[in-house]
Amino acid sequence: RGPLHFPPGFGWGAATSAYQIEGAAKEDGRGESVWDTFSHTPGRTRNGDTGDVAADHYHRYRDDLDLMADLGLRSYRFSISWPRIQADGAGKPNQRGLDFYRRLVDGLRERNIAPMATLFHWDLPQALQDAGGWESRDTAYRFAEYADAVFRALGDQVPVWLTINEPKTVVQNGYLWGHHAPGRQDPAAAYLVAHHLQLAHGLAVQALRATGGAGRIGPAFNLHPCYPADDSAEAAAATRLYDGYENRLYLDSVLKGSYPEDVLADLGPDSRMVSGIRDGDLDVIASPVDLLAVQYYTPYYVTASGDTTRRWPTSEADWQQIHPEGMYDILTRITRDYGRIPITVTENGLPCPDTLGADGTVDDSGRIDFLRDHFAAAHRAIADGVPLESYHVWSLLDNFEWAEGYDQRWGLIYVDYPTQRRVLKRSAHWYRTVIRDNGC
């Protein structure tokens, strides 16, 4: 394998999200989110971990900015906490919340790092959950108002906006399986939630255009290449429908203005989702976007009966099979099926059993191998015509991994939680050279 050179100006980055790193859960007027409620409910997270303190980034963001500059990041993807901006999810924005993100964005720009802001990374204000959450159509309109307030405050300083992080994870983990907030197991509700999340996305796109903001905007989807587990006709058919639920439900509605027929038929005309779609909704959802954010972690292998099976070694996250080829497959598939919309990879990464060695280093060579293989797959996709403009490693630093708490470490930077000391892992030093050389 020869050296990989990426296109000039390629946006090497790293990603985080508000609830996973900020802490300061009760400061400066922040309200409660569904993740405060969920993580404080006994039995919901590993070790009962919560995001109350997390990586204390709310207080240490200046040091974290310096670490980003030290790595040479060109792009930093973070999320804005809705309950910091509107404690109860409605009404006049909280200036102290906006000010925090203004300081963060200014700090990025001073260091020549492009800010990429996600509007919603799962921390729905609890007051909105109490009023029905994403099952309620009204939440989509509340989201558009929140987005509008953020665009007015920061729109001149943020070149790229992402609307909703992984709507599918809210649908599946939050409403089908119940191991994420709000912890429901209600398939009928789940797909209505999917529709309202898509609607919220479209309304936010329209809100940005209405403010005349110069920034670009798009959705952030976790996409899963789906392969048949064997070569039977039944497995092929099951894989097709599985792909509908995993990928086309989200991609088609935003990029083609329609939900996939096979998924709608499978849900049935009387389902809460299908009967919840109103005239004009798909036009809103398909409001033109500027780019598509893709998060890739794992493929699925679908059996004739519609279950999934494994083919590759898994990581410390039992849901993740390591298959770099899947990155190539999903990126090229988007360009093939949806045209040459610009793409940013907003998440890809690996949890490792990282420990701080006696010599003060963290040896995560497995993460380096993983990233190198995935960068190579992305590079091949670019060579084959995919307009990929940037790539954000998940994550900048170790953080609160939702139901897994702090046990799973995904960062390039190690966080020693008792002291909040940061230590660059081997992968961070390696990533610095990748960025410097624009390849590896």
User: Do 376 and 324 form a contact (C-beta atoms < 8 A)?
Assistant: yes
Window 336-355: contact mask with ligand FCB (x via CB under 6 A): -----------x--------
Query: Is 110 tagged catalytic?
Result: no
Query: At its nearest, how many Å lie between ligand FCB and the CB of residue 426?
Result: 20
- Selecting among 135, 166, 246, 401, the annotated active-site residue is 166
Q: What is the amino acid identity at position 35?
A: W
Tally of residues, the chain: 440
Q: Which of 35, 394, 414, 431 binds ligand FCB (CB under 6 A)?
A: 394
With contacts defined by CB under 6 A, name the span among 34-42, 254-262, 373-381, 394-402 that binds ligand FCB: 394-402
Q: Which of 37, 136, 157, 169 binds ligand FCB (CB under 6 A)?
A: 169
Give the total of residues touching ligand FCB (CB under 6 A).
11
Helix axes 57-71, 426-437, angle to 10 degrees: 50
129 counts as binding ligand FCB under rule CB under 6 A: no
Query: Is 389 tagged catalytic?
Result: no
Q: Which residue has the tokens 């998924």?
A: 263
Count, in order, helices (H) and strands (E) of the chain: 17, 13
Say how far residue 110 (Cα) sits from the centre of its chain.
25
Query: At its nearest, how many Å lie between ligand FCB and the CB of residue 99?
Result: 24
Q: Which of 36, 166, 252, 364 binds ligand FCB (CB under 6 A)?
A: 166
Of 176-195, binders to ligand FCB (CB under 6 A) are none
300 counts as binding ligand FCB under rule CB under 6 A: no
User: Do 188 and 268 form a contact (C-beta atoms < 8 A)?
Assistant: no
Concatenated DSSP letters of 85-151: H-TTSSSS--HHHHHHHHHHHHHHHHTT-EEEEEEESS--BHHHHHTTGGGSHHHHHHHHHHHHHHH
296 counts as binding ligand FCB under rule CB under 6 A: no
Q: Closer to ligand FCB at the Cβ: 6 or 370?
A: 370
Spatial CA neighbour of 252 closest among 274, 217, 221: 221
Q: Which of 33, 222, 315, 344 binds ligand FCB (CB under 6 A)?
A: 222
Q: Closer to ligand FCB at the Cβ: 129 or 165?
A: 165
List, in sequence order, every residue forming a beta bridge with 302; answer none if it has no partner: 228, 308
Helix axes 426-437, 365-383, angle to 10 degrees: 30
| Phi and psi at residue 349, to the nearest 5° | 180, -175
Q: Which of 81, 126, 139, 165 binds ligand FCB (CB under 6 A)?
A: 165
Query: At its nearest, how many Å lie between ligand FCB and the CB of residue 238?
Result: 24
- Interface residues with ligand FCB (CB under 6 A)? 17, 20, 165-166, 169, 222, 347, 394, 401-402, 410
Catalytic residues: 166, 347
